[in-house]
Amino acid sequence: VLAVYRKYGKKLFPRFLPMPSKRSVITELSGKGRKVAGGYQHLLNGASAIYEACNPRLNVSDRERATFNALSMFKDYHAFVDREILGSKEGWYRKHVFGSRMGPTFRAVISSLAGIHEYDELHLPFGVAVATYRPYIMNKLLRQGYLVNEAERFIINAITAKGDQTDSPMMAIINELIEECPHKGLPVLFGRQPTLNLRSIQLFYVTKVKSDPADNTIGISILAIKAPNADFDGDQMQGMPILSYVDWERAKMLAGHSGINSLDAPRSLNRNLVMPDTDFSTLNNFMYGNSR
């Protein structure tokens, strides 16, 4: 118990109590005056109890009682907000939590990959790749002897360049980054916010950067778009680069193959993932066939 108190004592017994902003209190103006909307009276009553506890004329027991009453009222206030305000509008979570961007991230319209490719491959647009991996590009330029201003100008000129960039110095740096990566490509978490299906966010690998600056779409396999509920009619998807080996170890849990089994029924396949019929047949035979 003493060890827990030493570790969490300041959190269990803080010096200051967090008070919600008065801007969060909804009031209603009527002919008889201004009234607090239902449910928000707990906040005002709690603030009044705190004010009462600060009275120097009160003894210790009265202050403790006033503080306890204030904490109880704050609890009722937060329960009201979570249940009636936030809980009744799931779209708020979708918009402000699940659907918000985090840095460093990228977002663009998706298009289908053609030719031979793997399920978890991504092909990034040239401008998106330069902006996303700018710190690594800067690092390589500084190692080559560029000054900071010269490196910045090099990147700006590369982003604003026109025409095919296959043989450009910037493309050479990007290809070098991909080749130096210990994986088959630069790992990223890729998904379509705010879809919450199983494996709507998966681990992908950037194996190629498009050389045409006019092509601003992210190339993705047609097999990988069912889980995020996406299609190729202008839908945008969001990616977040994996910047360390530790993060990659954790992100492996979101690899596509880890979501093959359904969470709704035992020994069933997850239909959010699209696989060729031959693969489904092989898995079905493995799960239901006679083992020999």
pLDDT at 126: 95
Query: Dihedral sign, CA of 119, 125, 128, 131?
Result: positive
pLDDT at 29: 76
pLDDT at 260: 77
> pTM for the complete prediction?
0.63
Q: φ, ψ for residue 197 (rounded to 5)?
A: -65, 160
CA 121-124-129 angle, 5° bins = 130
d(CA 192, CA 252): 18
Domain with CATH 2.40.40.20 in the chain: 100-285
pLDDT at 100: 64
pLDDT at 168: 94
Which residues lie below 8 Å from residue 181, measured CB to CB, with a gap of 6+? 187
Relative to beta strand 218-220, strand 106-112 is parallel
Residues 190/124, Cβ–Cβ less than 8 Å: no
The distance of Cα 157 from the centroid of its chain, to the nearest Å, equals 31
CATH architecture of 100-285: Beta Barrel (2.40)
Q: Please list the ranges in the chain whose pLDDT falls under 50.
A: none
d(CA 104, CA 126): 17
pLDDT at 229: 83
d(CA 6, CA 16): 18
pLDDT at 98: 60
Q: Tell me the residue type at 186.
A: L
| CB atoms closer than 10 angstroms to residue 184 | 13
CA 1-60-63 angle, 5° bins = 95
Q: φ, ψ for residue 118 (rounded to 5)?
A: -100, 165
pLDDT at 97: 61
Q: How far is CA 129 from CA 39, 189, 217, in A?
A: 49, 14, 11
